[in-house]
Amino acid sequence: MVLIKVLKFFFITIILSYLAVWISNRPGTVKIVWQEYLVETNVIGLLFVLIFSIFLFVVFFSLISKLKNFPKNFSNSKKDKLLFLGNESLDDIAINLFIGDSIALEKNSRKLKKYLGNQLFSTVMLFNTSLSNENYEDANKYLKILKSIPKAEYISNRAEVLILFKENKIDEALTLLSKLKKEFNDDLWISEKLAIIYSQKKEWELAWQTVEGVADKQNKSFSNLKANLHALSGNNILDSLKISNHSFFIINEAIKKHIKEGNLNKAIKLIEKNWLQLNCTDIIETFIKFELKNNSDSLKRHKLLTKAIKKFLHRSDETKLALAKSAYQAKIWGESQKYLDEIPEDNWDERIINLYKEISKKSEKITFRDNFKEVKPVPLWSCLVCKKKYKEWQFVCNECFSVNRIKWSKEEIIVKKNFFLENPFRHLPKMK
């Protein structure tokens, strides 16, 4: 390929050189008469004049074109600069979201609005930042701007609901959500927020009717909410279980129903399937104590439980405690002690201490040494919003009135997965 190019260049050079030599040897004479003027030259001079004229013509028209397009080019250059600065601001916003810097986020959102003239995105970001900083005056100001943007009608409605929740204007939020529910009947977010208000008022039927026909879209929290409301409305607990098997309340009540119907096998299968996700000995207490007939019944339940969850001993200390409680209930003191001893002493809490004391009272062969310097308190249920502690599960928090937000403190140890992004949007109010 290179050889062909060299040969082509060489061939063209020879032809041009030959023409130049030929013309120089035969310059000829060219005479031009123009208004009594005689211009006399040769072919080479004429060619030079012609080439120079073409050059001047090209330069002239190039200059005219540049002058003509100067405003347009200047405008494009300015747009390119603003686009570059806008992209820089978007990059900075991404970093601000990642590290949770709300001050810088607000600053860069304003820059984005300035550089790109973007109303919707920048206003939403400014609204979120104001709301998270509890600056409701600014949040309402940005809400008015959102309402003026045709594309933002749905977003502005949700934003208004959030402000009403934040300002604790629950009745106004109920009125607005009821109106939105008619327009967006299948909307998960609107239905969930409306059901939460009804739940706070303990109007379980209305809450259930609000979410009944709404698809959960693989949203675990929403499916739990639906299942709990289905059960609280007085429906069959086993049908509630079909909606979600991730709710402690549903599983615990389903275990009771199976025991009432004399079906221990179904109850134990339910425990086996959900034990690791719940990691809560309260459901074990239900299984080993609910409608217990006699010690023979207790032994039977202990055998079933051991077979079901013994394989999880290495996964959780709660499993060891659960089997220790079950063995104690079945009056197998030595086995109960064995499971307690498998729990590292650094992880002992008051439940283990108290059970060990009870075992030592029942059996003279078991001695409890009461010389622990520091013992962990009993794990409790905790509201994820206000952190209030509870001894038992509750659907609605008595402190902050959050709904379906009370979790077992040991649950996260098993279920929670480490993620390198530990909620980068934590400073923003939740809008979904």
What would the pLDDT profile of 61-108 be if each residue is shown by its tens digit?
A: 888 887 777 777 777 777 788 778 877 887 887 787 667 777 887 787
> Looking at 21-35, 100-114, 203-217, 229-243, which range is the least confident one?
21-35
Q: Residue 355's pLDDT is what?
A: 94
Of 194 and 431, the structure prediction assigns the larger pLDDT to 194
pLDDT at 368: 80
SS3 133: coil
- Average pLDDT for residues 349-362, to the nearest whole number? 92
C-alpha–C-alpha distance, residues 384 and 306, integer Å:
32
Q: Cα(420)–Cα(424) distance, rounded to whole angstroms?
A: 10
The arithmetic mean of pLDDT across residues 216-242, rounded, is 92
What is the structure's pLDDT at 28? 64
- Calculate mean pLDDT across residues 169-176: 94
Measured distance CA(64)–CA(57) in Å, rounded:
11
**Residue 375 pLDDT level (bands cut at 50, 70, 90):** confident
Percentage of the chain with pLDDT > 70?
87
Q: Which residue, chain included where needed, has tokens 């001893």?
A: 341
Strand partners, 33: 38
Cα 346 → chain centroid: 35
Kind and range of the H or E element at 158? helix 153-166
Secondary-structure percent of the chain, ordered helix, strand, coil, rounded to 5? 65, 5, 30
The alpha carbon of residue 24 and the mean position of all alpha carbons in its chain are separated, in whole angstroms, by 82
- Cα distances from 105 to residues 21, 46, 145, 162, 428, in angstroms, run 74, 70, 18, 20, 11
Residue-wise pLDDT for 261-283, tens only, equals 999 999 999 999 999 989 999 99
182: nearest Cα among 191, 170, 169, 192: 191
Q: Is 383 in a helix, a strand, or coil?
A: strand
Predicted local distance difference test score (pLDDT) of residue 104: 83
**Distances in whole angstroms, Cα of residue 169 to Cα of each of 47, 74, 166, 172, 203:** 90, 52, 8, 6, 18
Instruction: Give the separation between CA 315 and CA 330, rounded to whole angstroms.
Output: 24
- Within 279-373, residue ranges assigned H as helices are 282-289, 295-309, 317-329, 333-341, 350-362
**DSSP secondary structure letter of residue 349:** B
Q: pLDDT tens, 304-337?
A: 999 999 999 998 899 999 999 999 999 999 999 9
Q: Give the residue-averaged pLDDT of 186-199.
A: 95
Contact 155, 124 (CB under 8 A): yes
pLDDT of residue 115: 80
pLDDT exceeds cutoff 70 at 12: yes
* Domains, in order of start, for the chain: 247-270+283-373 (1.25.40), 380-432 (no CATH)
In Å, what is the CA distance from 88 to each residue of 48, 78, 91, 118, 367? 53, 15, 5, 14, 69
Output the average pLDDT for the chain: 85
pLDDT value of residue 24: 66
Backbone φ, ψ for residue 349 (5° rounding): -125, -175
Confidence of residue 53 (pLDDT cuts 50, 70, 90): confident
Specify the higher pLDDT residue, 215 or 119.
215
Q: How far is CA 209 from CA 192, 223, 373, in A?
A: 11, 14, 53
- The more confident residue out of 218 and 190 is 190
pTM of the full structure: 0.72
Lowest mean pLDDT among 54-58, 177-181, 191-195: 54-58
pLDDT higher at 234 or 121: 234
Instruction: Write down the pLDDT at residue 416.
Output: 40
Q: How far, in Å, CA of 411 to CA of 282, rounded? A: 12
pLDDT at 353: 92
pLDDT class for 7, splitting at 50, 70, 90?
confident
Residue of 120 and 117 predicted with greater confidence:
120
Token pair in block for residue 380? 């409790």
Spatial CA neighbour of 85 closest among 117, 62, 63, 56: 117
Q: Which residue has the tokens 């622990």?
A: 372
